[in-house]
Structure 1
Amino acid sequence: MAPKKKGTAAIKKTPKRPKGGGGTKAGRPKKQADTVSTTSSTNLQEEPGGGSDEESDNGPYCICRGPDDHRFMISCDVCEDWFHGECIDIAKDVGENLIERFVCPNCTDVENNVVSLFKKICSYGKCVKAARLYGDGEKSAFCSDEHKQLWWEKGIASLPKKSLAKNTQNGLTQEELMALLNSNLAAVDPDDGQWRVQTRPFAPPATGAESPEAKSKTLAPGILTEEEVDILKTSAAERYKMGEEVVLCQKMLQLLDWASDRRKSLIASKHFDDAACGYDDRLDQVGVVGPFANWLHSDEAKEIFKAGSLDVGSRLSGDDKNICDKKRCKAHQGWYSIHTRDVRYQMKLLAMDANKKLDKERLIKQSAAERKLRKEAEKNYVQAVLPDGTLGPPRSA
């Protein structure tokens, strides 16, 4: 080997870190505790006793199967592989601040909801920071109290100071909006959590299980008009009739189940072939409320429901037999499934109609209660002129 010239520098090779022991998948050392990795040339300083780990990290990573070339990278929470932000179209600021869970394209499964989750951004203007909806602190749709205050100031400033201005929105001025915010006419809707103006300003303050309507289900005398009382009585009577029809439908289903069990027992006892029809003539009234209700009052029906079986009055042979023993009978094909489906659909329609009537009754009662509160708030009354020319006692309008 030729001697080294004086004054020249020797090249020192940097040893590579072994890939075994303590490395992540694909032999790559784990970069940080979080899922985002960024490297900079300023951090690639040689440490005593070893070379830079980042300089020799050739991967492969990402969908491009390339090395870690000091670009922004993010780790998949499923396969734990690392991906370049440019290759998966994720900017650095988005990956570092707005991703709650990252799932790479290889692991994404939309049908099983295995997808990336992004954080909701701040509601103020063009701010792209995450809203304070994550963590144990106070929840807010803004990233900071400053942006929340600026959002309110900007919204109020967009309204005119006078009602005759051209930029009036829905007839509200700055003063009117502030008055609305400070009144009891605006509140947070408990159903969706959104702030909104109440459309029923005279609604009873007590709602839910503690309300007087929920406890007694009746209003005090004098609140409902005679017409409203008649409507409520008629509606309640119709709902009661619908309830009786539902009970009849339940008995129809019970009779169908008994007929099906009767057919199975006859097949098991070798009285019928496996392909026998098994339809019972006593099912003819099933699905028709009126005739079925009349049949229930017969002695035969009372005995059947008392015994809990269609064996009562069953006739398998003779001219008066009431059970069909034909094989693959076309006249009664699918009798059990067809009748069951029709009866259940009839029960569904009855329930829907009953709920509509119940909602109408609630609306009438609520409107009557609001009418009473409105009269009390407005203090409207009338006085009749008596025959002697004087005014009579005041009465509510």
Structure 2
Amino acid sequence: MNMISEEMKLNRNDAKMDFFDVSNEGKLSKSEEDDAMIIDHERNVLEGYHLMDTVNMFDNRKYDEIQVECLDANDLKIPLAYKKDFKKEKLKKRKINGLNMEGNHIGQLGIDHKLDVFQNNTIKKPQTNSFNNFRNENIELYCICQKPDTGCWMIACDGCDNWYHGECVKIAKADEELLDKYFCSYSCTKKGKGYTIWKRKCRLSWCRKPASVSVSPPSKYCSKEHGVEYFKERLCYSILEKSEVAALARSVDSVEAFKCLGDSFPFEDESVMDSEILSLLKLINMQREEIYERLKQIEMRTIYINYAKDRAKKINEEIRADGSKKEICALDYRLSWDDDDWNAWVVSDDGKKIFNDGRLEGYDLMCIIEKRKCFKHNNWVAIKIEEMELEEIICRETLKKLRRQEKKIYKRQRRLKALDRENKCISIAHALE
């Protein structure tokens, strides 16, 4: 037994001497020095991986991933004795910053993850945050994305003079000419400094230019050419031929008469109609004229509601500019007048001046109670607009009913005429017999 143990010791010592051929000077051979350098390198790599895993990812939410190129560890030929020592060293290195890494690994690398080695034999330095670079270099940042000027199209806020990328605020460069005033919704609009105002777009669907509303007379198109182009497109979808539309246009003397085409039936010979039918047709025409007048009043009231709304917004902005957080009701009492008072005021000098100027000024006939305390006029803008829209719908439906009644009357008259002609033909045939 002692001989066996002695033999095992000799074999073990021989195995060690195979890898650790220590001379009298205590130095390793060149191949063993290379192996030792590889193991030292692996230890550095392991330490670098664990340092990367323990980076605090919640430190100001600025963490840059370290991308490295690795080789397969199986390509390394490491002696067995060094592997055993390296395993012990590996367990020691896992305890970093007081965290026990022997259990469940909290980093990107698990405990069963294969050891990877950098191709360049160095650990690459983490890239610094791009925003920090901009701040450190004193580069001015813009927009809600806080990035520098990259050459993209930008728009300036009229309230705070900050610049914003069109892509970030959802405004296309093609709509640049349609903007009258721009206030950023992220700051100025919330603070009540103002609202974005758009110009009226040209009626042509694909045109992105503003309509010429400032010329006299105002136009719905950016140019005369686009006005002609618009009606050419409409004719393509019309059920009438171009020659028929031209004949209709030549049959009237004014634009208003052209708009009224189709409201009533063509002229019929009233000599063959009895008095009852004629009186019914006259009544229908009178009711139609009254509805047309009412539609004009609704249009005027709707325009005035917009004037009053713009004045209320402007006055409340002036109040907030003085440092007050309160808003007034700002209802215009003229919106509550009955039809007689309203019609008399519209034709007066005061009413004509307001509609010619296109705006309201001052505090005349306006509710100045604080908005949150004025329960009587709560949400008056939406209510007044809904009233006008509902009344317009009722008028349009009444016009349709009158047209149906008129159509029935004329249809009956045509049928009677056809019967009269048929009877005359029959009587003539009998007379010839």
Bucket of the pairwise TM-score, normalised by the shorter protein:
0.3 to 0.5
TM-score normalised per structure 2? 0.35
Higher CA-based Rg? 2
Higher helix fraction (1 or 2): 2
TM-score relative to the length of structure 1: 0.38
